Amino acid sequence: MTDTAQTKLMGREIRLVAHPGGFPGESLFEVAESPIPEPAESQLLIRNAYFSVDPYMRPRTGDAREYVAPSTLGEAMTGGAVGRVAISRHPDYAEGDWVLHTLGWREWALSDGTYVWRIDPAAAPVSTALGVLGPPGFTAYYGLFEIGRPQPGETVFVSGASGAVGSAAGQMAKIAGCRVLGSGGSPEKVAWLRELGFDEAFDYRARPVREALAEAAPEGIHLYFDNVGGDHLEAAIGALRNHGRIVACGWMSRYGDAEPTAPHNLFMVVTKRLRMEGFRISDHLDRFLEFQAKAGGWLRDGRLRYRETVIHGIENAPDAFLGLLRGESVGKMLVKVGPADDDQSPRG
Amino acid sequence: MTDTAQTKLMGREIRLVAHPGGFPGESLFEVAESPIPEPAESQLLIRNAYFSVDPYMRPRTGDAREYVAPSTLGEAMTGGAVGRVAISRHPDYAEGDWVLHTLGWREWALSDGTYVWRIDPAAAPVSTALGVLGPPGFTAYYGLFEIGRPQPGETVFVSGASGAVGSAAGQMAKIAGCRVLGSGGSPEKVAWLRELGFDEAFDYRARPVREALAEAAPEGIHLYFDNVGGDHLEAAIGALRNHGRIVACGWMSRYGDAEPTAPHNLFMVVTKRLRMEGFRISDHLDRFLEFQAKAGGWLRDGRLRYRETVIHGIENAPDAFLGLLRGESVGKMLVKVGPADDDQSPRG
């Protein structure tokens, strides 16, 4: 592709055009076209192959209940994306390199190299850089091992276990020698958790979490990896043993229509000497290579497996995002953009 | 006192005789008399001078809401007490030794030496072994320094700050170089907090905690030492800065009539990467001597001050306990038993 041809092409992106009052809908987004930009000195132009839709993006759409600054209206949604360098005027990147970046929901991304990581398409399918070998996998790894500190023989409960983070966290807890329980939101998800080697899995829409936990772990749990909050968190606090730990990773229960339960047994943090701790992987990027090396090894030896739910076409990104919030995906939810054959890496 | 005279005497103790349905009342307790026991080989008999009434005793009275096993009906309430060895047949203790023990609400205590610590009456008034130099002071010390890890220049908020634990925690945070805010339940308590050197103090019964915090710490707090739970905890979670810490020490708000608020903003543990951690000093007794050495030094050089609310007469112990739960005491609430002049140690 030449510089001249490039400026004639148009690229699409998904922009946020409204802030929802409650649960977001498709009217929040528009598909916008603009000329594909030309990289200046020290810039690179990336043609995206996949981008990620994630639960953490919900607060960014803006909501009266939220306490974070929403994304700016009229701008493309940011987030993890994987693509190939189309033109590079940056010394560290060459045309054809596969990269992970954070510029989100667009076909073409112009970058100065900030928050761009080169990925090896021979090691694993490039889409895994957005899932099991990318931010969700790293979130599971850092949260489980650094915050949760699982010990062999302990019982670990993972909520939202069929998601990209939860499925990795549960399998890593198995690798750590733990007994692992997981909750999912459908019989299909629960079946997949059993396939992955979870010792117990249950459908939280079919029965109260508290009951399911009492049955699956009558002697209590040592560690709770929380992706959900609300009634899951309350049930887990009730089930935790003395000196139990809560990895406060996410609060999916806030992303539905209704305000979730506030746990009425939080005083048990005192009586049981619990530790509950939040984290964000962007504070710990110095550990990312270590994670990739370990997770890559587990992936190759079959101890770490993953699923992807791939939605094709940038215009379907809002649907993919809303479907994720409604719990319709299994594993990592991705949007495939660009030509279908641009991903030349081996598929798992 | 001879062994022979001893067996003719009667001693009194306060027994729990009923479990409350809600807020405890005087009818839960009775004053009972029994012969003063004679120590067998390896035992010692202690004549109490003071015993402690503490918030943590509330759940032990038994309550449908509680999750801990209540004390046994018909037995004396256990807890911290200070007394003098009257008769010793134990190799480690001599008649006249002052000791701290855990046998609670009674005039005379028969012990085999388990959970008995000798105290030095020349170092400080013996009553301080139940307060600033005893379990409450150690709770403040361990919680603040090991769980909270204050850094110079940080802003620390202590709730229930006029209590035995809170007043020590706040002063220790000042010693650590922090700016310290405290809440108390009356103008008198607030005035005392200012005397102690708290940078800001407010009466939580006079205004919402959230408002008071927003005014006293517009840029937020780094560390919250929680003795109260409920709306205090919710307000503190809202005021905490990213990477803030919550020392989950107590939940006094549960000990009133009404069920306290469950914090509706607990998801901020995720978004702000907070750490909330409970503890119990009985897990950390290996640090008790270190604490006593440090706190003793601060007491001598005037950087650590304390108050006691002393109720005289064992028969008034239920009143003292209920008064504590109603927030009527300032500093450490103690019951003085035995002859008025048995405490021959220097008073501060």
Q: What confidence tens digit (pLDDT) does each residue in A251-274 have?
A: 988 887 677 888 999 999 999 999
> CB distance A67–B248 less than 8 Å?
no
Give the CATH architecture of domain A135-281.
3-Layer(aba) Sandwich (3.40)
pLDDT in tens, A66-101: 556 677 888 899 999 999 999 999 999 999 999 999
What is the predicted ipTM? 0.91
Answer whether A13's CB lies under 8 Å from A105's CB.
yes
Locate A228 and state its tokens: 């959900």
Comparing CA positions, the residue from B137, B133, B223, B132 lying closest to residue B180 is B223
* Domains B3-131+306-336 and B135-282 are alike in CATH topology: no
- The C-alpha atoms of residue B131 and residue B135 are separated, in whole angstroms, by 6
* CATH number for the domain running over B135-282: 3.40.50.720
A125 touches chain B (CB under 8 A): no
CB A131 within 8 A of CB A334: yes
Please judge whether B273 and A283 are an interchain contact, meaning their C-beta atoms are less than 8 angstroms apart: yes
Residues β-bridged to residue B211 = none
Q: Alpha-carbon distance B223 to B275, whole Å?
A: 10
Q: Give CA–CA dist B232/B210, Å, rounded.
A: 8
Q: What is the C-alpha separation between A337 and B5, in angstroms, rounded?
A: 95
A254 shares contact with chain B (CB less than 8 Å):
yes
Q: What DSSP state is assigned to residue A203?
A: E
Q: Which residues of A touch B269 (CB under 8 A)?
A: 248, 276-278
Nearest to B229 among A59, A267, A272 (CB): A267
Task: Tell the residue number behind the tokens 């939940």, with chain if given.
Answer: B251
Task: Supply the DSSP symbol for B102.
Answer: S
Residues of chain B contacting A55 with CB distance shorter than 8 Å: none
Q: What is the pLDDT of residue B106?
A: 96
Output the pLDDT for position B348.
35
CA–CA dist A48, A107 (Å, integer): 5
Q: Which residues of chain A have pLDDT under 70?
A: 1-8, 63-69, 257, 340-348
What pTM does this model have?
Answer: 0.92
SS3 state at A313 = coil
Q: Which residue has the tokens 């809170």?
A: B166
Spatial CA neighbour of B75 closest among B21, B115, B41, B29:
B29
The whole-angstrom distance between A242's CA and the closest CA on chain B is 10
A149: left (phi over 0), alpha (psi -120 to 50) or beta: left
Q: With a CB-CB cutoff of 8 Å, which residues 32-61 of chain B face chain A?
A: 59
Topology of domain B3-131+306-336 in CATH is Quinone Oxidoreductase; Chain A, domain 1 (3.90.180)
Put simply, the answer to whether A59 touches B271 (Cβ < 8 Å) is yes
Q: Are A156 and A221 in contact (CB under 8 A)?
A: yes
Pick from A250, A262, A283: CB nearest B270: A250
β pairing state of A221-226 and A155-158 = parallel
Q: What is the pLDDT of residue B341?
A: 56
Chain B positions in Cβ-Cβ contact with residue A59 (cut-off 8 Å): 271
**In CATH, which superfamily holds the domain spanning A3-130+307-336?**
Medium-chain alcohol dehydrogenases, catalytic domain (3.90.180.10)
Relative to beta strand B240-248, strand B275-278 is parallel
Residues of chain B with pLDDT under 50: 1-2, 5-6, 344-348
Q: Is A251 on the interface with B (CB under 8 A)?
A: yes
Give the start-to-end residue ranges of the domains of chain A. Answer: 3-130+307-336, 135-281
Angular region, B121: left φ>0, alpha ψ -120 to 50, beta rest = alpha
**Residue labelled with tokens 């750490």:** B275
| DSSP string of B170-182, one letter each residue | HHHHHHTT-EEEE
- For B164, the token pair is 């035995």
- Residue of chain B minimizing CA distance to A279: B273
